[in-house]
Amino acid sequence: MALQDNNGPVYSEMQNHLNEQHALLAAIVASADDAIIGSDLNGNIISWNRAAEILFGYTAAAIYQHPFTNLFPAGQLPDHQSLIKLLKQGVSIGNFETMRRCKDGAELPVALSISAIHDSRHEVIGLSLVARDFSVGHRIAARLTRSERHFRQLVDSAPNAMVMIDSRGLIEMVNAQAEQIFGYGRSELLGKPMEILIPARFHGQHPRLRAGYFSTPSIRAMGRGRDLFGLRKDGSEFPVEIGLNPIETDDGIKVLSAIVDISERKRQEERFRLVVEAAPNAMIMIDSRGIIEMVNTQTEHIFGYARSELLGQPMEILIPARFRPQHPDLRNNYFTAPATRSMGSGRDLFGLHKDGSEFPVEIGLNPIETADGLKVLSSIVDISERKRQEERFRLVVEAAPNAMVMIDSRGLIEMVNSQTEHIFGYARSDLLGQPMEMLIPARFRPQHPGLRDSYFATPSTRAMGMGRDLFGLRRDGSEFPVEIGLNPIETADGLKVLSAIVDISERKRFTDELSRRNKELNNFAYVASHDLKSPLRGVDQLATWLTEDLADKIDEESNEHLRLIRVRIKRMEKLLDDLLLYFRAGQLGGAVEMVDMSELVKDVFELCCTNRNFELTLEGDFPNSPTHKVALELVFRNLINNAIKHHDKPSGHLTVKASTEENHFVFEVADDGAGIAEEHRERVFGMFQTLRPRDEVEGSGMGLAVIKKTIESLGGVITLGPNHPRGATFRFTWPRKPTFNE
């Protein structure tokens, strides 16, 4: 209802209604500096002092017999009957903050106390309200001490919600952050029980907890170890952290609560928990005491414990007993200087299963800043399988017949086998951790780091120093020739290179000796061929003279004998020529020329075939490519000449086919003659092999042996295929890229 400012007679009437006790109250009211308002048991105002006029803007006459509840916005005070009931029970409502409604409609803060008015029989006959203004700029605010004003300013400017309650749990002060977080206006909170901000399920135990705190007040966190929740005006809950601070006042102990909405932190923690849970490795978070606070499913799987068996336990439960004594010191050192790093770098680490068995692990440490202080999140990987693979790899390396040396990108030796010790003369312990250059002659060391870096930049399995002579250095300082194969190895510690080193000293000696003997043999073949041909020519000349001189004097049989002598002399000369050709077959590559191979085959056929009853057919794609023309012509000439010479008919057909593979050309030379019988197929490429009596066929039996050696020396292969159903088929491969030049 609206209050009207009435005139003096009404005020006089109010004075006439005062009894003896009211007169005493009026005397107190008249002298008080605080606003003092008296009301009867119906809640109607019966006394009003000058300070009340100043505070609310109404005169005593204007306010008389109006309900005092109209001086306060709705919801600021308990209802009138509740107040009467409390006062009759002897409960005084101490100094608390609320809002007042002034005559001009302004709502301003006020400190209010409510107590009972008693008569001479000590019966409650009314209510006394004492109000003190603490709004900024009002003259009554000057009564607050400087420290009180400073305290209120600090509370209101705090970044967290601040709520102060008395021992009954009634709210006496809130700040702007409390209004924002809980969704209430300040006037809706002052004087209300604290439970208005607490979810209903916690109401039952809250008074007991509050009473326990007031009995032994101290600065501490509320509900340590429990999840706390606030309740907004709209009924929604949100997670909070609460700090409790006891405040000594003239009206007794108050409690100032600092309330932090940790919804965002909880969301972050949940995301963090989900990431940890989804990790493929075991993840364990501990506090500075080494107590386990979080694990994921992989931890349960790897260690064999249920989650409930690990939470709250010391980390040492997962560590073998022999490592436990030093672990606390290591943990303390880490907490002193935390950083993201691997644990126990350079040492073998082990975990302990629930069943007591140990297993090798790798551990990564990550410091995590939390509201409860620094934690450490450990990522644990079971490397049992990797260790088994490494052991198998080590055994393979150890069993290798060659020296095996593995180095890292810095060129430091990480692994050697027994053969390395044997070949280089070092003990294994003298090599591990040393630079690879200790096994290399001094003259090659300056360029070796550059070559190593180049290899690590583009690693591949290949021979080292292709085309160069390589040497190793023994412990005694002696050098020896080597061949080295390089193999890149991906490991958990990065790329390594495994070198297979072969001491080729014996092979070098053998090769040099073989080269010397081949040279001697070639010289012998040349000398033998040349020196043997001279007497053969003399015998042939004598046989010719005898034939001419005795032409009319000897019989037919003697003439035949002389003819056979001359034929066999010619065969011997041919044999000597072919023998020399065979020894030189490996050197028949000759100069490389661009060759149209279809034309080459045609030209060879024209030279070999004087019998026009033989035909040639070319099939496939004949290449036009650089190659060793002299050697290829020799091969085709022998094969085509043999096909014609050994044909069992006066006419025949030859077919030459060509195709291309990745690294070779492939040729087939086939005829339609009698073919080669099964019993002769094994020896056709041998030296001095003919399939008919020597007097019935020209040749030394060296032709196929010569072309086989020629083809193989250039990297090809020749084979004899089955008869189809008549005729022989020779198939040979020829390198697409020439292997050497002369």
- Residue spans per domain, the chain: 8-143, 146-261, 265-382, 386-503, 508-583, 585-735
Calculate mean pLDDT across residues 657-671. Answer: 93
Name the strand (E) or helix (H) holding 667.
Answer: strand 664-671
Structure confidence by residue, pLDDT tens digits, 485-534? 999 999 878 899 999 999 999 888 887 777 777 677 667 666 666 666 66
DSSP 111-148: EEEEEEEE-TT--EEEEEEEEEE--TT-GGGGGS-HHH
Beta strands 358-370; 592-596: pairing state = unpaired
Q: Where are the alpha helices (DSSP H) in 176-319?
A: 176-182, 186-189, 206-215, 263-278, 297-303, 307-310
Q: What pLDDT does residue 687 have?
A: 47
Residue that is written with structure tokens 């907004």 in the block = 232
Domains 265-382 and 585-735 share a fold: no
User: Is 3.30.450.20 the CATH classification of the domain at 146-261?
Assistant: yes
Q: CATH class for domain 265-382?
A: alpha beta
If you average pLDDT over residues 339-343, what whole number do you get? 89
Mean pLDDT of the 411-415 span: 95
Q: What is the mean pLDDT of residues 93-111?
A: 81
Q: Looking at the predicted structure, is the pLDDT value of residue 574 above 70?
A: no
More confident residue, 61 or 512: 61
Query: What confidence tens digit (pLDDT) does each residue in 668-678 have?
Result: 999 998 888 77
> In whole angstroms, what is the distance from residue 370 CA to residue 234 CA?
30
Q: What is the tens place of the pLDDT at every residue in 538-569?
A: 777 777 888 777 777 788 888 788 787 877 77
- Does the pLDDT of residue 421 top 90, yes or no? yes
* Residue 592 pLDDT level (bands cut at 50, 70, 90): confident
The answer to whether the CB of 539 falls within 8 A of the CB of 566 is no
pLDDT at 4: 38
What average pLDDT does this structure show over 289-297?
A: 95
pLDDT mean over 233-243: 94
DSSP state of 401: S
Per 3-state DSSP, what percentage of the chain is helix, strand, and coil (rounded to 5)? 40, 30, 30
Average of per-residue pLDDT across 417-434: 96
405 contacts 503 by C-beta, under 8 angstroms: no
Instruction: Output the CA torsion sign for 189, 191, 194, 199.
Output: negative
Lookup: tokens for 641: 């000449």
Tokens of 397: 């390396």
Q: What's the fold here for domain 386-503?
A: Beta-Lactamase (3.30.450)
CA 456 to chain centre: 21
Given this model, what pLDDT does residue 322 score? 94
Annotation: CATH topology of 8-143: Beta-Lactamase (3.30.450)
- Specify the fold of 585-735: Heat Shock Protein 90 (3.30.565)
Predicted local confidence at residue 148, as pLDDT:
63
How far apart, in Å, are the Cα atoms of 211 and each of 206, 217, 435, 603, 653?
Answer: 9, 10, 75, 120, 121
Tell me the sheet residues that pair with 358: 352
